[in-house]
Amino acid sequence: MLLQQNIKKTKPERLLLTLFYVFTICWVVMLLIPFMWMISSAFKNQVSVFKMPPQWIPPTPLKIVLTLEYPSSKVAEDTLIKDAAAAIWIGQDQFQARTNIQAVQFEAVNDDTVFFSTSMPFYEARYRRKNWLNQTVLDASSIKPHYHELMKNIKLDLRLKKWRSKTGTTADSLLIIVNNVMENIPFYGNIRQVVLMKSLPSLLDSYKYGFKYAFSKGTENIFFGRFLFNSFWVVFWVIIIQLSISSLAGYALAYLLPHWLSRLLLIFFMATMMIPPLLLFMPLILIMRTFPLAGIPFTGIALPYINILDSYWALILPHTAWGLSIYLFMGFFKLIPRDLLEAARIEGCSEWRIFFSIVMPISKPVFGVMTLWTFYAVWPTFLWPYILSFFQDMTKWTFPVAIFFAEVQTPYPNVIMAVSVLATIPTIIFFFIFQRFIQRGFVFSGIKA
C-alpha cells in the first residue's frame, strides 16, 4: 500500500483523471440545474417565474397594509367586512398578476386604537374567485353583493390594540400605484395609511395553494396530501409483496429446487423483462376488469369474477414480482455458506425457520437495495396510474396523475413546481435512510462482471 502511494502518476494519467473530474462535475451540475430551478420557482409568484432574465433568488414578497379610520369603534361589522372585502379583492385583481404583492391586510382604527383587522393571501382569493366570481374586472359594486361569501371563513380579529404608524419598503413607484387604486375605492371609512411591507411567510404561498387547491372539481377540493398518501400506500404494499415473493422465490431457486428446474424457471423469470411494459397494459386492464378468484378445489365450484380497476389493488398488483428482483435475491442467497444451512437442517430446523432466522438476518443488504430500488421504480410511475385514472375515483389517484391534471387545470407554474418539490422530499428522505445498504448490497448481491 505504501509503495502504491509513493508511485507518481504519469502526465497522461493526470490529464485523464483531470478530464474525468471535470466531466463528472459538469454532468452533476447539468443534472442539478433543473432541480434547483424547480426549488427556486416554487418560492416565486407567477410573475417572477416568467421574468427575463431569469431570477435564481426569489424576490421578497410584499403585502399591502391598509388602515381606515372610522368616527366610532361601534361601526356595524357588516360595514367593516364590506370595506375589507373591497380592499382585498380589488387589490388582488389589480396587483396579483403584475407585481410581487401577495396579500392585503386591512385595519379599522378609531383614534389610535385598532378595533378590527383581517387579511387574506392572494392564493386564497385566487381559489375563491375561481369558484364564486365570474367577473373579469372587480369593482366595489360587483363585490358588495358577494361580500359574505367572499369573506367566509376568513379570520376576523376584533381585539382592541394600540395602533402605530408603520414603515414600509422603498418601492415608491409601486406605492404610488397602490395609493391611486385604494383612493378610488368608495370606502365607508377614511384612508389613514397605505403601506407596502415585506411578507416573508408569503414565500410559502405556492406550497400552501398547491397542497390545498392543486386539484379541485367544481366546488369540491381534494388536498394534495391525499394523493401523496395514495402513493405512499401503493408503494408500501408493493415493497412488502415484492420483497416477500422475490425473496421466497430466490431462496427456492437457490436451494430447494433441482438445478435444471431452477435454471429453467430463472430463464422464464428473466424473459419477462424482455416484454415492453406498453404491451402489457391492455391485458392487465382486461384481467383486472374480470379478476378471477380461485375456485374451490375438487368441487368444480367457480367463484364470481370481480372488477378491481377502481381499487388500490389495480395499482399494486402489476409491480409485485419482477424477474430481476428474483435473480438478485437468488444470487445473494447462493453466497451464503451451505454448511450453515445444512447445520441448521441437522438441528431439525424447518426451511421456514432457516429462511426467517438465518437467511433474512444475513441478507439485510439485498433487502435494503431492493426496498430502495422498488421505491424509486414505483413512486414516480405515471403511465399505468394515468390509464387507471379513467376507471378510478379521483380520491385514489397517485401524485403524478394529480400533478398532471393540476397542470391542465391550474395555469400557475410556481404552484406546479411547489407540489413537485413536495413530492421529491420523500424520495430524498428514503435515499438517506437506505443509502448504507446500496454499496453493501451490490457487492454481495451475486452480480459478477
* Structural domains in the chain (count): 2
Q: Are residues 337 and 438 in the same domain?
A: yes
d(CA 362, CA 41): 45
Tell me if 31 is assigned to some domain.
no
299 band by pLDDT with thresholds 50, 70 and 90:
low
Residue 2 pLDDT > 50: no
Residue-wise pLDDT tens digits, 242-293: 999 989 988 888 888 888 888 888 888 877 778 887 888 888 888 887 766 5
240 band by pLDDT with thresholds 50, 70 and 90:
very high
Q: With a threshold of 0.85, does the pTM exceed it? A: no
Q: Which residues contact 10 (CB under 8 A, 6 or more apart)?
A: none
Q: Are residues 112 and 175 in the same domain?
A: yes
Would you list the DSSP string of 16-59? HHHHHHHHHHHHHHHHHHHHHHHHHHHTS-HHHHT-SS--SSPP
Q: Are residues 203 and 247 in the same domain?
A: no
Tell me if 425 is assigned to some domain.
yes
d(CA 411, CA 415): 9
Find the CATH number of the domain harbouring 286: 1.10.3720.10
Q: 115, 73 in Cβ contact below 8 A?
A: yes
Instruction: For cell 391525499, name the residue.
Output: 226
Q: Are residues 190 and 250 in the same domain?
A: no
Q: Are residues 422 and 290 in the same domain?
A: yes
Domain stops at, among 191, 213, 235:
213
Q: Are residues 419 and 276 in the same domain?
A: yes
Other Cβ atoms within 10 Å of 446 Cβ, number: 18
Residue-wise pLDDT tens digits, 147-178: 887 888 888 888 888 988 888 877 778 888 88
Tell me if 186 is assigned to some domain.
yes
Domain stops at, among 213, 244, 271:
213
Give me the numbers of helices (H) and strands (E) for the chain, helices first please.
21, 8
d(CA 182, CA 197): 16
Tell me if 80 is assigned to some domain.
yes
Q: Are residues 187 and 235 in the same domain?
A: no
Q: What range does the domain containing 289 cover?
A: 223-294+304-444
Q: Are residues 145 and 228 in the same domain?
A: no
The set of cell numbers assigned to 140 is: 366595489
Q: Are residues 77 and 207 in the same domain?
A: yes
Other Cβ atoms within 10 Å of 108 Cβ, number: 27
3-state secondary structure 224-265: HHHHHHHHHHHHHHHHHHHHHHHHHHHHHHHHHCCHHHHHHH
Residue-wise pLDDT tens digits, 71-95: 888 888 888 888 888 888 888 888 8
Domain stops at, among 168, 191, 213:
213
Tell me if 418 is assigned to some domain.
yes
Instruction: For cell 364590506, name the residue.
Output: 82
Tell me if 71 is assigned to some domain.
yes
Higher pLDDT, residue 449 or 313:
313
Q: Are residues 191 and 330 in the same domain?
A: no
**What is the model's pLDDT at position 301?**
63
Q: Are residues 419 and 325 in the same domain?
A: yes
Tell me if 99 is assigned to some domain.
yes
d(CA 297, CA 252): 25
Tell me if 218 is assigned to some domain.
no
Q: Average pLDDT, stretch 304-332?
A: 84
Q: Are residues 230 and 199 in the same domain?
A: no
